[in-house]
Amino acid sequence: MSIKKHPILGDAPEVEEVTVILDGVPIKVEKGQMIAAALLEKGVRVNRYTRKNHAARGIFCGIGQCTDCVMIVNGQRNVRTCITPVEDGMIIETQNRTEE
């Protein structure tokens, strides 16, 4: 949840929303946010599963170094979502789901 009112900084400006498709479901997210942050704000905590043990992974470092946040974006695997901004119409998929 984004801060809308702040006692010192005042009211936050209105933000534009865009629609992305996450695992086949359309969701509205804030334009300009990084994918991982936008999804986390919507309650999405798992971005991928490890191949060997199928352990859930989500945003960890937030600076593109650890690769825990990689997802499939517009058909491209291993996109570091913590450093990739959302764009309207993006198709985002959880990587290494059990049904793959």
**Tens digit of pLDDT for each residue in 11-59?**
878 889 999 999 999 999 999 999 999 999 999 999 999 989 999 999 9
Classify residue 98: in a domain, yes or no.
no
pLDDT at 96 over 60: yes
Domain that holds residue 37: 14-93
Say which CATH number the domain at 44 has. Answer: 3.10.20.440
Averaged pLDDT, 81-88: 97
Stated pTM of the model:
0.84
Classify residue 47: in a domain, yes or no.
yes
pLDDT score recorded for residue 8: 85
Classify residue 5: in a domain, yes or no.
no
Classify residue 8: in a domain, yes or no.
no
Residue 20: name the closest of 1, 6, 45, 39 by CA.
Answer: 39
Give me the sign of the Cα torsion angle 30, 23, 59, 89.
negative
Classify residue 1: in a domain, yes or no.
no
Q: Would you call 37 helix, strand, or coil by DSSP?
A: helix
Averaged pLDDT, 66-82: 96
pLDDT score recorded for residue 100: 46
Classify residue 72: in a domain, yes or no.
yes
User: Which spans in 1-100 are helix H?
Assistant: 35-41
Task: Give the total number of structural domains in the chain.
Answer: 1
